[in-house]
Amino acid sequence: MTEDSDRLIEAGTHTFRRATLALFAAGFSTFAVLYGVQPLLPIFADTFAVSPAESSLALSLPCATLAVSLLVVSPLSEVWGRRPVMAASLFASALLTIGAVLMPSWHGFLALRALTGIAASGLPAVAMAYLSEEMHGRAIGLSMGLLIGGNALGGMVGRLLAGVIADHASWRWGLGTIGVLALFAAVAFQFALPASRHFMAHRMRWREVPGTFTQHFRDAGLPWLFLEPFLLMGGFVCVYNYIGFRLLDPPYSLSQTAIGLIFIVYLAGTASSAITGHIAGTLGRRKVLWLAILLGIGGIALTLAQNLILIIAGIVIVTVSFFGAHSVASSWVGRRASRDRAQASAIYLCMYYLGSSLLGTAGGWFFLHYGWVGVAGFFGSLYVAALLVALRLTRLAPLPLSGGPTG
Least confident window among 117-126, 141-150, 158-167? 141-150
Return the number of other C-beta atoms located less than 10 Å from residue 10's C-beta: 13
Residues 97-111, mean pLDDT to the nearest whole number: 94
Contact 24, 314 (CB under 8 A): no
Q: Which residue has the higher pLDDT, 155 or 57?
A: 57
DSSP letters along 132-151, please?
Answer: HHHB-HHHHHHHHHHHHHHH
Question: What radius of gyration, in Å, describes the C-alpha atoms of the chain?
Answer: 20
Instruction: Tell me the C-alpha distance between 148 and 24, whole Å.
Output: 8
**Residue 292 to residue 272: CA distance in whole angstroms:** 10
Mean pLDDT of 139-161: 77
- Within 305-379, strands assigned E span none
> Helix (H, G, I), strand (E, B), or coil: what is residue 36?
coil
- Provide the pLDDT for residue 405: 46
pTM (2 decimals)?
Answer: 0.76
Q: What are the distances in angstroms from CA 120 to CA 34, 276, 289, 326, 337?
A: 8, 26, 27, 19, 23
pLDDT category at 228 given cuts 50, 70, 90 is very high
Residue 24 burial (CB count, 10 A): 24
Buried b (16+ CB within 10 A) or exposed e, 185-224: bbebbbebbeeeeebeeeeeeeeebeebbebbeebebbeb
Q: How far apart are CA 26 and CA 89, in angstroms?
A: 10
pLDDT at residue 130, as a whole number? 81
| pLDDT band at 402; cut points 50, 70, 90 | very low
